Structure 1
Amino acid sequence: MGLFRLLLLVAIIAAAFWLWRRFTQPTAPRSNKPTDRTNPTPMVRCEQCGTHVPRDLALVKDERWFCSQAHLEQGPHSSGD
């Protein structure tokens, strides 16, 4: 029973020390840097499938935007309704 009390006492001291350290240490300052929401990446819509892609990754032909080389070669989606 003496060993159990010793282990319990060590656990209580360790928990108290951990709590004391946690509440006395200053918290790490959070970064107040704004995410780059002031200058978002422009998105364009693929003429073939309608997927929105960043304009700097899209392919353009005759002022029409496409998401991939395959869709660029197929041209704009033709609705046969």
Structure 2
Amino acid sequence: MGIIPLCFKAGEDADTLGLTGHERYSIDLPSNISEIRPGQDVTVTTDTGKSFICTARFETEVELAYFNHGGILPYVIRNLFNQ
């Protein structure tokens, strides 16, 4: 997938958090993929040291399965290969 969909908390946005879009981000996800839940809050830290909470926008268990497999295409290919 390559992208982890995140949503700012109510009342927050890039401007209120002082984000420019040039930062590098670290997202604190559980190391075990099975511990990630739809709508889970995660801590995001920038390379400038700013830290804030976002909601991971994995809406369903299927989206989490896609993420776990590296995207939809790898998921489909693995399922076809295993049939």
TM-score by length of 2: 0.19
More helix by share: 1
More strand by share: 2
Q: Which has the higher contact order (CA 8 A, sep 6+)?
A: 2
